[in-house]
């Protein structure tokens, strides 16, 4: 078997590249270890807690014990299914802040500033404002990825935005437009009541072309001959075979699996590869380093009124709503229920938001366990730009072994300071008049916890990953010893090989990572095809008094 381009991984970036390369007439083969994304658990937006906890769809990764979180091991879900993590995620759509991409460019990712990436965000989107306002000029209208807003019928969604306003924060009609900072509606990758994953948006239409093929196989390593990637060694049906690439191999296997695959192929820190008896092809110290994530806590409040989603939290209602969704793709099943959001700055002197909120009208854990209090609501919150860095390393040279995942969460004093600030600012928001009719008491952390020490112990015990791992094959200048790929996403030191997924982010973006991961796939395809969309010159909104004012 062979093709011009082999893409390893049918996730957010891989699907986008397959679509664009096939559209340009290239022969493309996509290798995916996971199976089909058909079925209600993935396609029904409200069922989002299920696929993330199902072995069928998830790689089942876990972190090493995290020393600053009381040695807890945290789950690290990654999609093992067509569509990758876009098939098991929370469907929240955030591009990231303009300044995130300008920072990438400053770090050596030339050509990845906001002006350079905005045209690709527009190209990927079909944005539907559904009459709720927004920045049409900043959005795309005919891309493969449908982006919508929930109906926001529950009064709690409006109370959240109103409370933000009362606390003195900005409001924004469109955090993916000119102005990210503020409180406003949240966007989701949902279309006509279905999860609009990279599988639905990109790979299905790509596979309708004769020049694009998807095979189910487990990638073991990249085959490199005379310093050039010429194919991929895979296992399928119990046999090991090599699939050859005439032009290039592109790894889009996630921030966990992409560095693992590079190291198994002899590309990575030489000493570490030697430990495992792997022959060094390219000594790249940065492979697997620079691992970042967003950590968050769930601030939960008991509700005075029985208006939360808790009333549907029983088998009868779940059956009714499931049937309604199955037959009509409407009702509560047709939204991820994250319908209000906020991005704020933690203190004066911070130029752009560094705290994110997801608001949800039920008090529930990510694995779908409801709070014992019954009716309640919650905000997920955490700092956006943690200075902590972790790493992905090999446990062994056996491709079947999961890699060692160590985030090193909360390893700096700033992490703790930022998190305490988050919790205190959140309490202030929920104490505004807009929530007076709704807030009964604080379930979690609970009003008893007030001092730094009390709050710290709550964080240590209850902080959870937002599942936004990235950064492990960092993009930078070719002479940067810690960069893994250059700004064209070519692996430094090996010909014919690129990496394109969230692992190339120099620094984590503001918000959820599915949007920017798809953008990387969109832009990578143009780098591969030797073309480029012209840069934009739109000016994003920055708080005029950010140096002196927190809000």
Q: List the catalytic residues.
A: 468
Task: Measure Cα distances from 81 to 57, 91, 217 in Å.
Answer: 5, 16, 11
What is the DSSP secondary structure assignment for residue 538, as one 8-state letter? Answer: -
Q: Which residues contact 30 (CB under 8 A, 6 or more apart)?
A: 6, 7, 9, 10, 14, 15, 18, 203, 212, 213, 214, 215
Has 90 been labeled as part of a binding site?
Answer: yes
What tokens appear for 208 in the block? Answer: 């309708």
Q: Which of 143, 140, 137 is nearest to 122 (CA)?
A: 140
CA distances 172 to 134, 311, 343, Å, are: 8, 31, 9
SS3 assignment, position 24: coil
Nearby residues of 408 by Cβ (< 8 Å), 6 or more positions away: 66, 67, 68, 291, 388, 389, 390, 391
Closest CA to 507 of 498, 516, 515: 516
Tokens in use for 532?
């480029």
Cβ-contact 302, 373 below 8 angstroms: yes
510 is in an annotated binding site: no
- 3 state DSSP class of 404: strand
Q: State the Cα–Cα distance between residues 277 and 223, nearest whole angstrom.
A: 17
What are the start-end ranges of the E strands in 304-452?
Answer: 340-344, 355-360, 376-383, 391-393, 404-406, 439-444
Structure tokens at 491: 């692996």
In terms of C-beta density within 10 A (0-12 exposed, 13-18 middle, 19 or more buried), how is residue 531 classed? exposed
Closest CA to 113 of 451, 469, 539, 542: 539
Residue 278 CA to residue 219 CA, distance in Å, equals 17
Of 194, 541, 146, 186, nearest to 380 by C-alpha is: 186
Q: Choose among 369, 493, 500: nearest CA to 21.
A: 500
User: Of 314, 308, 325, which is closest to residue 443 (Cα–Cα)?
Assistant: 308
* 287 known ligand binder: no
Distance CA(411)–CA(416), nearest Å, equals: 9
> Is 92 known as a binding-site position?
yes
How many residues does this entry show for the chain? 551
Q: Give the residues across from 372 on adjacent strands.
A: none
What's the CA gap between 497 and 491, in Å, rounded? 6
Task: Output the known binding site for FAD.
Answer: 81, 89-92
Task: Output the known binding site.
Answer: 81, 89-92
């Amino acid at each position: 078997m062979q093709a011009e381009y082999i893409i390893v991984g049918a996730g957010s970036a891989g699907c986008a590249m397959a679509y664009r390369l096939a559209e340009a007439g290239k022969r493309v083969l996509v290798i995916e270890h996971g199976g089909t994304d058909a079925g209600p658990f993935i396609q029904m937006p409200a069922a989002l807690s299920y696929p993330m906890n199902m072995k069928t769809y998830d790689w089942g990764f876990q972190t090493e014990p995290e020393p600053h979180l009381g040695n807890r091991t945290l789950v690290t879900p990654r999609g093992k299914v067509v569509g990758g993590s876009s098939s098991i995620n929370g469907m929240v759509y955030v591009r990231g802040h303009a300044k995130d991409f300008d920072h990438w460019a400053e770090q050596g990712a030339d050509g990845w500033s906001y002006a350079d990436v905005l045209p690709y965000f527009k190209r990927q989107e079909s944005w539907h404002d559904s009459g709720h306002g927004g920045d049409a000029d900043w959005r795309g209208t005919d891309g493969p990825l449908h982006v919508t807003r929930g109906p926001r019928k529950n009064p709690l969604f409006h109370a959240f935005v109103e409370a933000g306003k009362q606390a003195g924060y900005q409001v924004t009609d469109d955090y993916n437009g000119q102005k990210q900072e503020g409180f406003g509606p949240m966007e989701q990758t949902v279309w006509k009541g279905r999860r609009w994953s990279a599988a639905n948006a990109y790979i299905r239409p790509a596979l309708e072309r004769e020049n694009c093929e998807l095979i189910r196989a487990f990638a073991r390593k990249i085959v490199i001959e005379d310093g050039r990637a010429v194919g991929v060694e895979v296992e399928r049906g119990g046999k090991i075979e090599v699939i050859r690439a005439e032009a290039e191999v592109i790894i889009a296997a996630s921030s966990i699996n992409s560095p693992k695959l590079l190291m198994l192929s002899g590309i990575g820190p030489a000493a570490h590869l030697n430990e495992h008896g792997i022959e060094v092809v390219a000594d790249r110290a940065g492979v697997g380093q620079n691992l970042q994530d967003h950590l968050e806590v769930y601030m939960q409040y008991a509700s005075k009124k029985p208006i939360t989603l808790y009333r549907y939290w029983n088998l009868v209602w779940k059956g009714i709503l499931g049937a309604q969704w199955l037959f009509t793709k409407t009702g509560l099943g047709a939204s991820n229920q994250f319908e209000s959001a906020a991005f704020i700055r933690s203190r004066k002197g911070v130029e752009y938001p560094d705290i994110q909120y997801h608001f949800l009208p039920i008090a529930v854990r990510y694995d779908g366990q409801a709070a014992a209090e019954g009716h309640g609501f919650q905000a997920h919150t955490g700092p956006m730009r943690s200075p902590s860095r972790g790493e992905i390393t090999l446990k062994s040279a056996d491709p079947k072994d999961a890699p060692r995942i160590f985030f090193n969460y909360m390893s700096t004093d700033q992490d703790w300071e930022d998190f305490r600030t988050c919790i205190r600012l959140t309490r202030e928001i929920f104490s505004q008049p807009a929530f007076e009719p709704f807030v009964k008491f604080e379930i979690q952390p609970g009003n008893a916890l007030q001092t730094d020490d009390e709050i710290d112990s709550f964080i240590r015990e209850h902080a959870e990953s937002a599942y936004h791992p990235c950064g492990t094959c960092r993009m930078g200048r070719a002479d940067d010893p810690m960069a893994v790929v250059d700004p064209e996403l070519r692996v430094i030191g090996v010909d014919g090989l690129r990496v394109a997924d969230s692992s190339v982010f120099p620094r984590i973006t503001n918000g959820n990572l599915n949007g920017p991961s798809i953008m990387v796939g969109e832009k990578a395809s143009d780098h591969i095809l030797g073309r480029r969309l012209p840069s934009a010159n739109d000016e994003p909104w920055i708080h005029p008094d950010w140096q002196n004012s927190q809000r």
